[in-house]
Structure 1
Amino acid sequence: MTDIYRDDAPGERRAAVVENGNIVEIHIQRDASWALGECGVGRIDRKTPSGAYVVADDGSTLLLRSKINQPDGARISFEVTREAIAEPGRHKPPEISLRDSPHDPLIGKDALWDARVASLGQSVMNASIADGFDVAIAGESQLGDVSISFQRTKAGLVFDIDGIGDAFAINMVAATEVARLLRLYQVGAMALIDFVSMESKAQRTQIAEAFDAASLADPRPFERTAINGYGMMQVVRARPRPSVLDQLFGTRIAALSDETQGYWLLRAVAQSTGFGTRTVTAQPDVATLLQSERWAAWRGQAVRLAGADMVVVADEKAAGYGHVHVAQS
Structure 2
Amino acid sequence: MNIVKLPGFCDVHVHFREPGYEYKETMETGILSAMAGGYSDVCTMPNLKPVPDSIENVKCQTCKIPADSLVNIYPYGSITKGQNGEELSDMEAIAPFVIAFSDDGRGVQSDKLMRAAMLKAKNSDKIIVAHCEVNDLLDGGYIHKGEYAKTHGHKGISSESEWKMIERDLRLVKETGCKYHVCHISTKEGVELIRQAKKDGLDVSCETAPHYLILDDGDLREDGYFKMNPPLRSKEDKEALIAGILDKTIDMIATDHAPHVEDEKNKGLKDSVFGIVGLETAFPLMYTYFVKTGLLTLEDLVDLMANKPRKRFNIKFTDIYYEWDLDAEYRINPDDFKSKGRATPFVGTKVYGKIVNSHK
Tell me, yes or no, whether TM beats 0.5: no
The structure with more radius of gyration: 1
TM-score, length-normalised on structure 1?
0.26
TM-score, length-normalised on structure 2?
0.25
Higher strand proportion: 1
Higher helix proportion: 2
